[in-house]
């Protein structure tokens, strides 16, 4: 039985974006056919023209009472949740390490191999494990949208604070 699932992400991801990076799917860009002629503007109508999203880090901690915790680092982008790392902690407190002592203790633990080194079947099972717990396409779409909205609200608050500061 699961005691809790905690999902965290931050608007700081917007500040860490590479301004030179192209977050668009190149497959959706202007294509040329085999003869080198550009496709007409009418070709491909009805395709999804929604802007691809930027990558947003989403950390998931699944905790079971008395059994520890799985800490799963993922990236939400373009409607997909991609697992980057999966860590197991016998003591769930290590998954939430905030103090210097806990962070130091955590560094000395073997928490598992890199996700990409796992057997492909195990990778698929872990992806399904997350999907069954609601960490899915809907969340992958929600997170970047929420981060955008939150960043805009913080920006407006910042503008107001700066305006109040320089007003006198």
* DSSP classification of residue 125: H
Residue 106 lies in a domain: yes
d(CA 69, CA 163): 45
- For residue 20, the model assigns a pLDDT of 59
- For residue 111, the model assigns a pLDDT of 86
Residue 79 lies in a domain: yes
- For residue 103, the model assigns a pLDDT of 84
Question: What is the token pair recorded at 80?
Answer: 């997909």
Q: Alpha carbon of 137 to those of 48, 53, 76, 99, 157: distances in Å?
A: 16, 13, 9, 33, 31
- For residue 75, the model assigns a pLDDT of 95
- For residue 15, the model assigns a pLDDT of 62
Residue 31 lies in a domain: no
Residue 39 lies in a domain: no
d(CA 73, CA 87): 8
- For residue 85, the model assigns a pLDDT of 95
Burial classification of residue 82, based on how many CB atoms lie within 10 Å of its CB (0-12 exposed, 13-18 middle, 19 or more buried): middle
- For residue 33, the model assigns a pLDDT of 44
Give pLDDT tens digits along the chain (168 positions). 668 999 999 887 666 655 555 544 433 344 444 444 444 444 444 444 455 567 899 999 999 999 999 999 999 999 999 999 999 999 999 999 888 888 888 888 998 899 999 999 999 999 999 999 999 999 999 999 999 899 999 999 999 999 999 997
Residue 29 lies in a domain: no
pTM to 2 decimals? Answer: 0.73
Strands of 68-77's sheet, edge to edge? 4-8, 56-64, 68-77, 80-89
Range of the domain at 97: 4-14+50-166
* DSSP classification of residue 126: H
Count of domains for the chain: 1
Residue 26 lies in a domain: no
Query: Any idea what the CATH number is for the domain that residue 69 is in?
Result: 3.10.280.10
């Amino acid at each position: 039985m699961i005691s809790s699932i905690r999902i965290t992400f931050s608007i700081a991801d917007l500040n860490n974006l590479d301004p030179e990076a192209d977050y668009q799917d190149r497959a959706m860009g202007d294509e040329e056919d085999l003869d080198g002629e550009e496709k007409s503007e009418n070709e491909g109508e009805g395709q999804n023209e929604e802007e691809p999203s930027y990558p947003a880090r989403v950390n998931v901690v699944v905790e079971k009472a008395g059994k520890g915790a799985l800490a799963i680092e993922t990236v939400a982008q373009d409607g997909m949740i991609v697992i980057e790392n999966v860590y197991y902690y016998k003591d769930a407190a290590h998954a939430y390490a905030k103090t210097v002592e806990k962070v130091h203790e955590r560094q000395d633990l073997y928490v598992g191999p890199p996700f990409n080194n796992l057997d492909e079947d195990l990778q698929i099972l872990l992806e399904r494990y997350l999907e069954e717990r609601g960490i899915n396409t809907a969340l992958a779409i929600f997170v970047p949208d929420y981060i955008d909205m939150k960043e805009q609200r913080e920006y407006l608050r910042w503008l107001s604070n700066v305006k109040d500061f320089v007003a006198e």
